[in-house]
Structures are given as structure tokens and as C-alpha cells.
Structure 1
Amino acid sequence: MTKNSKKGKIVSCLDMGSSKLICIIASVSNEHIEILGYGHKESRGINASAISDMRIAQKSIINVIAEAERMAGFNIEKLMIGISGSQVISSRKEFGCKISSEVVKDVDIFNLTSKVRSDFKKNNREIIHMIPMYYRIDDSSAVINPRFMTGANLFAKFHVISTSQTTIRNIENCIKRCQVSVNNYMVEPYASALACLSQNEIDLGTLLIDIGGSSTSFCVIIEDKVVFVGSSPIGGDLITKDIATILGVNTSLAEKIKNLNGSLFISPIEEKEIIKYRLQDSVSDSMIRITRIELRDIIQSRLEELFESVKLILEKSKIPYNLVPNIVITGGVASILGIDKLASEIFAKNAKIGYPTKFNSAPSEIINPTNSCALGMLVYLRNQYLKEKSKEYNENKGNWFKRFLDKVVAV
């Protein structure tokens, strides 16, 4: 939702993950982002942002929105939705059009973007983000801003992040049944990047890996632009299933074992230490036992597979990710101790855990890697608010000068 208030603008967002739903309501202003309310619920009827069961998903979304509204003290009408990287296709294409007058104007750039949207719409694709990589006039070299330049034809290469129109229609249908509407969409790894990365990391280049429940989304940012978005079908749930299968326990207990004991750092003294859990639902009330190094090996083998799959996808994409100096890991699985060191070894780059860093006054329980995507959407919405304010200021300034000239002419 977006609406104006005395404190700034009220915005809201919904992260639709496979394992959790989080809705945040906040006020954005020139100074900061103030979180007014949030809700956190188990995700049901949703698989990686796509609706898998309309009625169950509707109930889950209503509950999480209601929780955020109760904390904020008012109802919302619109919200931004996060789309998983597994639901999108990242493509780079060049388009061209004739320049309508002597110099390039906003209308020419609009005609170019309209041509892109039309091309994707014909293929039943909904554009989530359209990022200009460069512009070119006729056969000249690339330029950043072609406005007021002379030529016959304008060309541009766009990085287009798109998803299926069917996915979008089902999300909007579900959200509409929850008595709210969708204001905008944002791909999840890009949102997480805005929450976790410093401006230096954005400028120099970073590979951000957001490890979710059913899948892992990632994006490459170079010189303040998202140049690639991808996903791997390996997520935290597979680690839980590995533990459950090997120990012969249910996934609920396996998740508990992973969360309480998940660490890739094991000292020689701890290697043979035995982790014990009593099986409360068994007839004999028996115990399950596993050494810390055995649990480490289960978790590490799956994480190695995950990082190798991301590496392979990047190599096939022909993106120059080797030039990217930083790796940032976020999402719920980022809480496993030593995961950054493992990523650093596999990619041969600096790696660290990404924490949301732009929310000084936010409740501490919400500022963690699990909520990076939802918090990043708030950063994006604040950036949009600041752009609107800047545009409004410039228009008012121009109108004032025009009124002044009119008065001078009248005299």
C-alpha cells in the first residue's frame, strides 16, 4: 500500500516464500524508514511465490496481513509483492526505433520501452524489471543518457526480468480475494541486495545469494545495475530432508536439529560429541544419536552442491561474474555457522553474511537475514518516494520560474 501521512508515505510489502510469509507496514520519509507493523506466518498454499492452492494461500495471506495491520493500527489497501528468482527469466536484448524529431526526447525512450513490453507480452511474459544497460545512436558507441543527442535511430540493450502472466494473474486473484490489491512486484534477490549491500558493494560488484526454503535465488550487481538473476532448485528444505532421511525422523525434528546444531565449524574436541534427541512419538520412547561431525558432513555436502549449481548457472549465462569481487549470502540458511567460509572456498572470492543494515530504529527481532527480501522492498519503496519528491520539487521550481517570467512579461 502507498498513502501519504504526516510522517511521510505509508507503504507495505509481502514476501511470499515457500516456508514463511512476512508482511511489513512502514512509513518512509526523507530521513528514514519507520516500521509500523509486521506479521510473520508459516507459508501454506504457496510454492516459491507461486500459488499452489488458492484457498489455503488466501487464508495464510489474510492471517499475515491481519497481524501486521493489528500492530500498525490501521488497514492497508495495496502492497508490493516479492517474486522468487525461480519464477523469473533473466534476458538481455537490444531494441531500436526511429528518433521522432531532431534530438532524442523522453517520448523516444518511451517508444523504445513500449516496444520491449509489447514484445514480451506477445510471449505471455509479464515484465517485473526493465533495466537499460546502455543506449546507442545509429552506429555510435554506447552512451549512458541519449537525451538531446542527434541521430536517426535510437538503440538500447535492456536486461529484462520477466515472469509468466499466469503466475501474475493467480497472485493477483489470490490477493484480491484477501481484500487488498497489488501495487507492484519486485524480484526477491534484488530486494535482498538493497537491504544488505553497501553502496561500495553495489558499485564494485556483488553476487548476492538468497537461500530460501524450496529454492535459492541469486543476482549479480555490477556498477549499480542488476545484470543477471537466476535460481537453483536447492534450498534449506533439502538439508532438512537429508537430516530426516538419514536419522529416520520427521521433518519437524530434523529442522530443529538443523537450527540448533547447524555449524560447519567443528573443533577436534567436538568432532565425536554426540547430539541426542528423544523421539517423543515413538512407542519405546527411544533416542536418536548423531555426532557433530556427521551432522556437519550432511549439511556441508548439500551446501557444496548448492554453491556449485549457482556457479555452473553463472558460467552458462556468460555473465562476467569472475570480475565481481564480493559474495553476500542471506536468507534463513545463512544462519549456519561457516557457510560464508564454504562459499569463499568454492567461488574463490570474499564472502560474508548479509544483514539488513539500513534500519536503525527497527525492532531487533525483524532485522535478520531471513527477512532481507521484505526489508529490501521497503528500501526500494523509499527510493521511489524520494524520486517522486525530487520530481515534484523540480516541477514546482519550474512552475515558479514560469510564473515569475509571466509577471515580468506582463509588466
Structure 2
Amino acid sequence: MKRIYIVAYLVLVMQGLFFTSCRKEHEYKKYFGDGEILYAGRADTVIVHPGDERMLLSVVLGNDPLVTKVKAFWNDGKDSIVKAVTPEMIKSTVDLMIEDLAEGTYNFTVFTYDNKNNPSVVRYVSGTVYGSVYSSNLVNRRLKGITYNTDGSMVNISWAHGNPDEVGIELLYTDKDGNSKTRMIPQKEVLTGLSEYDGNTKLKYRTIFKPDPNAIDTYTMDYVEVGLPVFERTLDKSKFNVHILPTDATTAHGWVMPNMWKDDGGASSFATINGTLQWFTFDTGVSTSITRFKTWQASDRLYNQENLKRFEIWGSNAPAADGSWASWTKLGTFESKKPSGSPVGTNTAGDVAYANAGEDFSLPPGSPKVRYIRIKGLEIWGSGNFTVLGEITLWTSDR
């Protein structure tokens, strides 16, 4: 029985070899007709390099010294390209550049030929040609946001995740010395930090795509131009201090001035002694140009009683010791708003949400640098006879 099995197996193997040989012979006859089959040395490898409406075939030759040319066919043998091979090119690579191809997938048959024009056994390769259909679906990678670190020494650019075909992003910017800089952002990078940049200039970026690792062409998007946001940082409240001058209102009711920088949204507040049109002073600890500030009302009396409604902000670097106004510069007059406009004592949910979030106020551009802040009350929301301020936060663009 074992002999029968072995014989049957050998018959199957011989049939496979026969059909393979017939197939090769058929492929040969398809291109070269009948006759005695003599083969040139076949190419070792054919590497396909896709391109933009073109294809590069890199044919790695074997060691047959009689090979004189390489030829590739496509479009069912209707189209072809040929390149001569000299003896010194044996065991090297011959490139066949095929131009003016329509976008799509192509099957190639590649032969080498000897000095008697005998072809080799065929090499089959296939590849995709890219073009306008592919490129029309490409877009620049999305820039999610631009932020600064706490002191403004670095700008951080946040990107969406890159397309798998993306080579990277070409980023152009200007450094602090006015020099143009180029930086390549890798496909997997989603956060880019720039430490040397001119904040008054714009960034430009574009995404570069490569549809295949072996591709000979890349696709580059148009530049996108974005401006850097204005840098701002909050003033460090740990440096704030009470600075009471002779004409200033002092603390009353146990609501001390440092409550204004406790970052509790007005839960604990500052209150002055009884009086009208009062002012008070505090030291920020550093001379800066204030760009904006935010205030919170005392949360237990929103839009009511002694909460500030209209007020002035003044600044100085060297307040007069007698508390006079000669050394102060007025930075602006401001008024708190109530979204609903409802009467005192009636607050909507929107009013409460707005007050609890804090109210933003901007100072005019180019405001002078000041270290000391004086707040002068002009009007309160209710009918009280002193002034209350829940909390204050200050911002500057100074680095």
C-alpha cells in the first residue's frame, strides 16, 4: 500500500510541474511565438515605485553576462518599454520610468533578453498609479489649537492625528532675530513646541503626503497661514499684598483685603468701612502692563447691596505717601452688567451663572506698566453704605 501512495504522490507532483511549465511556455508564446525555448537569465527582483500618473520599475539584474536589455509589458502586452543593458550593469539595477499613465492599478510582465534576443522567464509585478482622484481627497492636517506656557517663552501647537499616508507637516515661522525657519513635523507628532519665535508674525504650514512607501512622488497641500494668539498670563497672586494709604478705605466686618485673591469665586470677600465713593489700594508685587482683569461679586449678595457696579481702576509705580492722586494714572472706568436687566433683588439663572463665572474687563491697548492698583468705587448694586468686592484676577501680555 505504501508504494501505491508514493507513486500517486509522484504523479501529482509531475502533473504540477507539467502545468507550470505549460503556463510559462504559454506566456512565452504569448509574446514571442513558437520555437525552441532558450531562456536568458531572469531578473532577480522587480521593485515597483508608484508615482503621480507614472510608474518606476526598478529591475534588479541577475548575474547572466549575456543579458543585453530589459523590457516590461502592460495593458495586456499592448504597451511596453525597453532599456539596453551593458556588461557593466550586470547585477545592478535598471530603472524603467513609464510616463503618462492614467490613474489606476497596473499589472506588468518583465523580461530580460540575451544577446540572441532570447527572453527570460517572466517576472510579474503590479502597482497603483496615483493622480487627481487621489489628490482631491487630501487635506491639510487640522491644527487644533495654539497655547503658551506660563511665562510665554514657548508656544505649543496642538495637531490632530496624521493621515497614514502623511509624510509630515512643513512648518514655517520667524524667529526672534527675524530669520525664516522651517521645521518638519513627523506624522505621529501631535504637539509641537517652539521656543524661538516672533510673536508678531504668522505661522505657515502645509501637509505632505506619500501614498506608498516606495512612491517616487509626494503630494503637497497649499500653505495655511495662522496668526499667533496674543500671549497673556495671570499675575501671580502669591505676590499680592495689602497697601493701605492715608486716604484709603480700610477693612471692616472681618472681610479682609487678601480675600480678594483667595481664588474662591467670591465666597470670602473684601469689604470696606462705611462710607461712599471709597477707594482702596493693593500691591501686585511687579510692574506690568495690565491687559484685562476679571472680578467676582460677593456670592451671598449677587447684583445687590454693596457689590460694586461702577468703578475706576488706577495704577502707579510709586504712590504718593500722603495718599493723594497726583502719582496715579487712570487706566479705565468700568461697569458690571446684569444679563437679564431685571430689577435689584431678582436674578435669573443666567444672571447667577454669569456672575459666578466672573466678569471680564479689558484695558486699552498700551496701558502703562504699574505695580500698585487702586480701585475707586462709583456705584454699588444695592442700597448699602460700604463697598464689597469678592475676587479679582489680573492678566498681562508681558513675558
**TM-score, L = length of structure 1:** 0.18
Q: Could you say which structure has the higher helix fraction?
A: 1
Q: Could you say which structure has the higher strand fraction?
A: 2
Larger Rg: 2
**TM-score, L = length of structure 2:** 0.19
